[in-house]
Chain A
Amino acid sequence: MSDGPATHAKLPPAELIGLTPDVFTKPFWDAAVEHRLVIPRCTTCATFRLPPSAFCWSCSAQEVEWVEHDGRGTVYSFTVIHHPVLPELADSVPYVPAVVELPGTNGCRLVGALGDVALAEVHIGMDVELVWRAVRDGETVPTFRPSGS
């Protein structure tokens, strides 16, 4: 997979990350600080949605309940970033943005960097678990690692 010398996934630099929540996404990020993954579920038709949004795409209702999820999922797809498109990324490559499907959520996917893994082992269908990453006070974002690592 990799043709570079680095064979282990790093993480993108925390300085690059900045959250700008609105009223609909704030509960997600507030729970993240407490290391809880919560996903909004429509109280009318029970459809989950990510990102959290003003309306249910399935039934147009607005009200949601926040359902906890254990953060275990499977890699739906991914890329391995080898080239630092910004100079600030130079020390952080290679890193692995991964799209992770969360079971039991009608196909919701959470996107995060997959770390703690050899690049050669990353594959679609891989079982992963969520690892919360505090990037600064009050801002915690999801990352993933292989299950059981």
Chain B
Amino acid sequence: MTLRDKAAIVGVGATPYYKRGRSLPQTPFEMAGKAMLAALADAGLSVTDVDGLALYSFGLGGDTSLFAQVMGIPEVRFTAMLTGGGGGAAGSVGLGAAAIASGMATCVVSLMSLQQAASRFGASYAPKGKPGAQYSAPPSPEGNFIQPAGLVGPGQMFAVLAQRHMYRYGTKREHFAEVAISTRENARRRETAIMRDELTLDAYFDARMIADPLCLYDFCLECDGAVAVVTTTAERAKDLRHPPAFVRASANGGNGRWGQAITWMGMPDEEFASSGHRPVAKRLWDMAGTGPGDVDVALLYDHFSPMVILQLEDYGFCGIGEGGDFVADGNIRWPTGALPVNTHGGNLSEAYIIGMTHVKEAVEQVRGTAVNQVEGAKVALVTGGPASLPVSSLLVASEPA
């Protein structure tokens, strides 16, 4: 038994997206509520229908109690959160679908609300009590083995993985540039996108280097905003406002020795220059009964541009080590490529709401209502992470298998 096609996403909603800190004086909690109400309205449902919350990355501060109380959810029958950070974005919807498939809940909201005014992910590993500590995660004995090297932000850490990928497979900065530029081209056509100016190859190479080999345009945006999605039973989904986006499959986790990954750097050699997604991809395809050849559009978590290339490899769209050539050949461009990627402009150019914009775009693509619509799109892949374990993915489809 699997959760295949037993649940469907029926509503998506979002606040506007803001540059870091500009969502004030709204609170993150308030934005979460606005996004949920928008998603419910989109579905033709109301808050009285909600009976579950499936979250990730400390959404709602890791506690749904106040949210249920303030929003007037009549009865919470399921409340759970994937551990870890952004790696759980796509998988949080799978968690909700699992609750629905098992009968624990009937209408589950997954959401992310982010406000980087008092905090800043770019320096999230600065040590407590030291400069930058206002941005930081709690210090750990394990972190002591990374942070004295001056690694204080995730982009610096992923640069180390990207460097190894370049060494091992011959990947080039031109390949990273193709990810950044193709994603920007998609964002330019969207009113919701924060970055809509043209990005040329010259501008990419003229940009300041942040953490070699990653330059300014290899980094995602620092944003505020909230995105929510509503998932319900496949049966009920058929009677609601929009065509359902069936949850074909979802998986999360990773190899145990992927572990803390970028905050460890001890992953096995064969997996180091990867996205950590390989075992999750295998389980996703197994559950779906399909493979990469059936995907019409991929919404790949793009906090840093090289990580799109590594995921293309790990999900089997090309061979391991061939991701650079795959993007250089134009495959990820919308609308001409064989596999349009991040048609919404991604974390890189639309907005970084820790990956939930990717879920929203997948739903709009299989509904046929996306701004940059992939013609006839029936199956969309969404990923969360690379990150420390778990990473996750979600496959949505316009029809049951």
Contacts and interface: CB of A to CB of B under 8 A. Distances in A.
Chains A and B come from one and the same complex: yes
Interface of A: 1-4, 11-13, 15-22, 24-25, 29, 50-51, 53, 57, 76-83, 85-89, 92, 95, 97-99, 107-113, 124, 135, 141-142
Contacts, number: 146
A87 B135 CA distance: 13
Q: Which of B131, B144, B159 has the most CB of A within 10 A?
A: B144
Given A113-B148, A142-B148, A21 B141 contact: yes
Question: Which 6 A-B pairs have CB atoms at the shortest separation, nearest pair first?
Answer: A12-B150, A88-B131, A79-B159, A80-B212, A97-B149, A141-B148
Contact of A21 (B126, B132, B144): B144
Given A77-B161, A97-B156, A51 B141 contact: yes
Interface residues of B, number: 47
A83 B147 contact: no
B151 A97 contact: yes
Contacts of B163: 77-79, 124
Contacts of B213: 79
A133 to B, nearest CB: 8
- Residue of B132, B214, B266 most packed against chain A (CB within 10 A): B266
B164 interface: yes
B141 A22 contact: yes
Nearest to A88: B131
A113 B132 CA distance: 19
Q: Which of A13, A16, A50 lies at the interface centre, i.e. has the most chain B CB atoms within 10 A of its CB?
A: A16
Contact of A112 (B130, B148, B153, B269): B148
Contacts of A76: 164, 265, 272
A112 B149 contact: yes
23 contacts: A1-B212, A3-B209, A16-B126, A16-B132, A16-B150, A25-B144, A29-B144, A50-B266, A51-B145, A79-B163, A82-B212, A83-B209, A85-B123, A86-B123, A86-B132, A88-B131, A97-B150, A97-B151, A111-B149, A112-B148, A113-B149, A113-B150, A124-B164
Given A77-B164, A82-B211, A111 B269 contact: no
Interface string B131-157: 110000001111111111111110011
B85 to A, nearest CB: 18
Given A83-B211, A86-B131, A124-B164, A98 B122 contact: no
Contacts of B149: 12, 97-98, 111-113
Contacts of A86: 123, 126, 131-132, 152
Residue in A24, A29, A124 with the greatest tally of chain B CB atoms within 10 Å: A124
B236 interface: no
A111 B146 contact: yes
B127 A18 contact: yes
Contacts of A3: 208-209
Contacts of B210: 81-83, 85
Which among A1, A3, A29, A92 has the greatest number of chain B C-beta atoms within 10 A? A3
Contacts of B156: 79, 81, 85, 97
Contact of B269 (A82, A107, A142): A107
Nearest to A87: B131
Looking at B129, B145, B210, the one whose CB has the most chain A CB atoms below 10 A away is B145
A82 B152 contact: no
A132 B260 CA distance: 25
Nearest to B132: A86
A24 B144 CA distance: 12
Contacts of B150: 11-12, 16, 81, 89, 92, 95, 97, 113
A2 B212 contact: yes
Given A97-B149, A113-B150, A77 B209 contact: no
Contacts of A95: 150
Given A15-B131, A82-B209, A77 B167 contact: yes
B189 interface: no
Point out which of B129, B141, B142, B211 has the most chain A C-beta atoms below 10 A from its C-beta: B141
B128 interface: yes
